[in-house]
Amino acid sequence: MKILSVVGARPNFMKIAPFIHAINNFNRTNNEKIEHVLVHTGQHYDDRMSKTFFEELSIPEADINLGIGSGTHAEQVGQTMIEFEKVLKSEKPDWVVVVGDVNATLACSVTAKKEWIKVCHIEAGLRSGDIKMPEEVNRLVTDRLSDLLLTPDRLSSENLRKEGTAEDRIVFVGNIMIDTLETNRVKAEAMSIQDIIHRNLPAGYQLKTAVPADENYALMTLHRPSNVDLKEVFEPIMRFLMDEVTKDLTLIWPVHPRTMKQMRVFGLYDEIVNRLRIILLEPLGYFDMLRLNSGARVMLTDSGGLQEECTILGTSCLTLRWNTERPITLKEHGGASVLVGNNVERIREEYRTALAKERTPIRPQLWDGHTSERCLQAILNVSEKFADKSDHLPISVLERQLI
């Protein structure tokens, strides 16, 4: 059997790494080998945004790099489909495995189905309910086309059922991101915060505050257009951070390139970089970010993956969005995250609550570090039982078999 896996952007790397390791483990212990091809579309082409993740997570160099690079959503999707079609015609895989919700996920699932190749979507069923999010469009289309939908939680499985997805295409396997976290957690926690900060200071940036100890800092990521593209939204958040958060904690902030650009456009850069108890960093590698998250008093983020990490690590998480495709991470479902949007009064209220809360790690069902094994087994079960390559393959017994 030949499996072709696709990665396109940073969130994909943490999800595909354990799947590749699961294939390697299978090949070491079985006579029948799985041939695996890794395709990198090149959506994240900067070394800090891509190459370091391959190195840190022990992912082999991609067998094929499409070199798509940046562009509008339409440009990325269209160019990826053109180049990926050539790969499929050459490689002729039995399965294409896509992960997450980036443009590469959409483009490659559509192209594979047009070539009558089976598609497996890892992290299926996530829904924010916000069709204005490009990622939501990617999720909806990919899930509609995929033959095998591997969900990270039961809420996601239920989303698919409500949309009319046949039960025999849905398999609840758990969260593959947590496989990566558990594999690397001990190594990350042994790292020095001081070393992380000094290695990742932006060029020309002068550190103006002491490096904080664990539980004495807030950690933030901020990159979504809804938070950073309008000055009337971005500046009040910055004022809250500078005037209030820094009175309690040091703020460690790995700054996304988009956000750094807007900081300058809005005339806030000089004030922010000269403010005591704010530490600006370049975008971080996986281990650096995991280490900082494990010691943060509170996380402020508009990233989906960090909501999941915070749940396992017990870090109070203020999600700077009005919706989330990961409701399992919210307090009302037992998680560590709360939606605060970009309303400063709401952020302030939940920030004060977070400061008073003790760290409480939480582990949703099947977030146990073995999801990648269940993902591979699901594919193997389908391939063994249904070798007729029909359009959508029935797998009604899989959920009972795997859990």
* Active site (catalytic) residues: 223
Q: With contact defined as beta carbons under 8 Å apart, do 150 and 378 qualify?
A: yes
Amino acid (1-letter code) at residue 287: F
User: Residue 69's closest CA among 108, 102, 40, 42?
Assistant: 42
Residue 317 DSSP SS3: strand
User: Residue 280's closest CA among 255, 257, 246?
Assistant: 255
DSSP category for residue 392? S
To the nearest 10°, the Cα dihedral for 55, 57, 58, 63?
A: -80
Q: With contact defined as beta carbons under 8 Å apart, do 280 and 203 qualify?
A: no
d(CA 53, CA 87): 23
d(CA 5, CA 12): 10
User: Which residues partner with 114 through β-bridges?
Assistant: none
DSSP category for residue 99? E
∠ CA 110-111-115, rounded to 5°: 115
* Residue appearing with tokens 């070798």: 387
